[in-house]
Amino acid sequence: MKSASSSGILLLFLLLISPFPVHATDKAIIKDIRFWSSPGQTRVVIDLSRPVEYRANRLSQPDRLYFDILNASIPLEIKKNLSVTDGILKSIRAGQFNPETVRVVLDLERMEGYNVFLFDDPARLIIDVNAKRSESFVTKKVIVIDPGHGGHDPGAIGPTGLQEKDVVLDIALKLREILSKDPSLDIHMTRDRDIFIPLEERTAIARKKEADLFISIHANASPNRAARGVETYLLNWTNDEEAIRVAARENYISMKRMKERMAAYKNEVERILNDLSRDYKREESLKLAYLVQNAIISEIGKEHKRLINLGVKQALFYVLVGASMPSILAEVFFISNSEEEKLLSNDTYRRNIASSIAHGIKTYLSSQTPVQRVSGKGLKPQRGPQNF
């Protein structure tokens, strides 16, 4: 099955216009250039001091893709020449093209298409260069578990100070322990301790591990302290105000900015969703979401009679963008609700949550027939030498 990000369709998640006027002297600064390699995709991340406008083009002889970042500058100390040599990119080069423009050049080995999108807070331009992957039969299913937040980002905080990052990490570790008992599964985590992992690195980890499933775990929160219940999300367009609010919080942007971005780039969002539908990733994500949601409600509901089933929902979560495998984001109860915060602070209760998620995952896997998928090794993030 062809991955959603290798369709060759040009998807541009362009800049949401800054709410502040940008003057000619207010240049964006290139802070770093990073990359991750995985079979079928190289992800390039350009860290920025603020949002930017850019232009993209492809040239031949030699084959290369370049991005002109407008009204920007690149400091002398930034590493401007990165050797990649992963079969997709040969190298990444950056320089001050003219006084107002920084040009970043991706020297291509092979490419079927690329996706571009911009994340906020902190600003960074993300480029996924895609290529066809060879396929082979594998015996184990690879699952990547993603505990949300971490490090300097505590996530939501409960009335008594319980932090989302700690709760979801503990649930994820328990989930790994449960699933690892199955010899047919290969379990990985985006983080297994209290460290911060940017959103774009989480799906890059899943792709590097050639994951069959990506499970992101979060605890919900709301200004309404009476809000309670469980809901599970997949990547999709939505007009639901509450779903947009949840996505905005997890994406580290304001509700206003989230709506502005969605309105400005609805067509681009719909293209990537159509691409997912063609490769059945959206259908499989929906199935996985329902099975996990139902398992949590069924198992936890036996003891927690006031449990509310908020159902399966859809929203534009940045952490799910770029996933080439069925992927979901589970919001396991409201840490902002005093009663549910108390439950989430209980070790036995967290183990029950992990057990119910595991049950949903196993139910999903048992319904699948063996298929071909890619096998291979990914590379760790790298930085190149100083010279341009």
Q: Copy the structure tokens of residue 202.
A: 């989480």
Please indicate whether the domains covering 4-133 and 141-366 agree at the CATH topology level: no
How far apart (Å, rounded) are the C-alpha atoms in residues 187 and 141? Answer: 8
What's residue 282's pLDDT? 84
Task: Write down the domain spans for the chain.
Answer: 4-133, 141-366
Per-residue pLDDT of the chain (388 residues; tens, 9 = 90+): 444 444 333 333 333 333 333 344 589 999 999 999 988 889 999 999 998 999 999 999 999 999 999 999 999 999 999 999 999 999 999 999 999 999 999 999 999 888 888 888 789 999 999 888 766 556 789 999 999 999 999 999 999 999 999 999 999 999 999 999 999 999 999 999 999 999 999 999 999 999 999 999 999 999 999 999 999 999 888 888 999 899 989 988 889 888 877 776 666 666 666 666 656 688 899 999 999 999 999 999 888 888 999 999 999 898 998 888 999 999 999 999 999 999 999 999 999 999 999 999 999 999 875 544 443 333 333 333 322 2
Give the pLDDT confidence score for residue 376 in this predicted structure: 39
Q: How many C-alpha atoms does 18 have within 13 Å on its Cβ side?
A: 13
Whether residue 230 contacts residue 333, with contact meaning beta carbons closer than 8 Å, is answered with yes
Does the domain at residues 141-366 carry the CATH identifier 3.40.630.40? yes
The pTM for the full model equals 0.78
Q: Residue 267: what pLDDT?
A: 64
Class of CATH domain 4-133: mainly beta
Residue 321's pLDDT is 84
The neighbouring-strand residues paired with 44 are 35, 127
d(CA 33, CA 77): 12
